[in-house]
Structure 1
Amino acid sequence: MAYILHLESSTSVCSVALALNGELVDLMESNEGQNHAKLLSVFAADLLSRNNLRPEQLEAVAVSEGPGSYTGLRIGVSLAKGLCYANQIPLIAVSPLQSMCEQVISQHKQLGVDELTDCLLVPMIDARRMEVYTATYALPNHLIKAVSSEIINEQSFLDELSSKKILFFGNGAEKCKTHLTHPNATIIPGIETSAQFMCQLAWNAFQNKQFADLAYFEPFYLKDFIAGTPKKNILTGQ
């Protein structure tokens, strides 16, 4: 039996899942905003405790690799690395974009999509203004267009939409719906990042021994972190 702990902190959703052999056992998450520093380690400890597990009984820790929130990713990867170092277990990196695809694939009928055959899947994570982090996937959840940062307008994805139906989802797609109006474009509302949809992807990686280098792994930020300019001079108060 292989227990894997999954940490998702790439967006405003703070989510931790426990899985056994790729099947979800337990889940704790909050979508109340950027509370990762306060909640992520607490969720991890509580999940293990209420399932009568100790950290050393884990076979691996899976973490959302990004792209997404700079601070959230740092917190998730720091916790994952700490657990892996302390317990001498491997680290598994999972794309939050691909895990959102996993949700759509597994729940498409409940989401109002009768058929996925020949559809492309385009998850989107909100960046800023009309910019999103995105990638393109095809069944059965294979990456066919690399992760990128895109500014969405009326011309976006027109080449692909001319010949394929495309499902757009994620918090980035919600803000782009006024621009993605082609008849072949469908926006699926309500899809958020969640650790529960990392489970099967992490299990596949575990079985294939696709582990991240614990010493050198860093989150996939996609863009450099840009610090905001303080409104007040902290030395003068002006």
Structure 2
Amino acid sequence: MSLLLQIETATTSCSVALAKDGVVLGFKQINQRNIHAEVITLFVEELLVSAGLKYDELDAIAVSSGPGSYTGLRIGISTAKGLCFALDKPLIAIETLEAMVYGIINADQSAISADTLLCPMIDARRMEVFTAVFSAGGTKIKPTAAEIIDANSFADLLEINKILFFGDGAEKCREVLGAHRNASFLPDFVNSAVHLTQKALEKFRNKEFEDVAYFEPYYLKDFIAGKKAV
């Protein structure tokens, strides 16, 4: 039996879910920029109270580990690590792009043909995205990378495969990739802690835990601070 608290803060979405043996008991989320620090601990408390559970009944904390927003990742992972230290519970890390893929797979498998590739995209800046390519079954076939998207991006894969692009970085790529006959885009996809459920349960059962003291977010790129407007 497992009771897992799941945290997703890699994008503008701040989301927390509670899952028991792979079944989501409840979740809370808001898709709004720069609100993560304000609501995340409140969401955790409200979920546990509504489920009639106490913190020490949790078996592990799972967190979306990146890539994604530097600030969002710091907030989510700091919260997860703090809970793990305080409760003496294990930490489970799920790569954000992988969680996004399982969110699509588990939402509606009938809409994905066996030859369709899944391409989650997280907005970086300008025409750059954090992305990878997965099979319809969730196997990664193109590694995670920060890529600047142009008309030739994914050209080799698009020639022989249908690709579904989704995530908050996908819409800005529609203009340069959308004309290809094999490219399709899923609008309004929002990252959610619910998407961590399947992989978090697998890792818990296999005891694939992180070293809480040394674990860091998967930034993929160095953080570059913007100049404050005068």
With the shorter chain as reference, the TM-score category is: over 0.9
Structure 2 gaps of 5+ residues are none
Larger proportion of helix: 2
SS in 1 for 2:214: coil
Q: CA RMSD for the aligned pairs? A: 1.2
Q: Could you say which residue in structure 1 is the equivalent of 2:94?
A: 94
* Other-structure match for 1:160: 157
Deviations 1:176-216 (A, max 9, x none): 10111211111111111100111111001111111111111
Identity percentage of aligned residues: 48
SS in 2 for 1:133: strand
The 1-side partners of 2:197 and 2:78 are apart by 20
Counterpart of 2:106 in structure 1 is 106
Using the alignment, how far apart are the partners of 1:114 and 1:14 within structure 2?
Answer: 27
Instruction: Give the secondary structure class of the aligned counterpart of 2:140.
Output: strand
Structure 2 counterparts to residues 1-238 of structure 1, below 5 A: 1-108=1-108, 114-180=111-177, 181-232=179-230
Residues 15 and 28 in structure 1, CA contact (< 8 A), matched pair in contact too:
yes
Partner secondary structure for residue 211 of structure 1: coil
Deviation above 3 Å: which 4+ runs of structure 1? none
Q: Work out the CA distance in 1 between the residues paired with 2:226 and 2:159.
A: 40
Give the aligned length. Answer: 229
Alpha-carbon distance between aligned partners in 2 of 1:141 and 1:208, rounded to the nearest angstrom: 18
- 2:32 is aligned with what amino acid? E
Larger Rg: 1
TM normalised by structure 2 equals 0.96
- 2 CA distance for matches of 1:223 and 1:114? 33
The separation in 1 between residues aligned to 2:14 and 2:182, in whole angstroms, is 33
Superimposed CA distance per residue, residues 48-94 of structure 1 (whole angstroms, 9 cap, x where no aligned partner)? 11111111110000001001110110000111001111111110001
CA offsets, 1:143-186, max 9 Å, x none?
Answer: 22211001111111001111111111111111110111211111
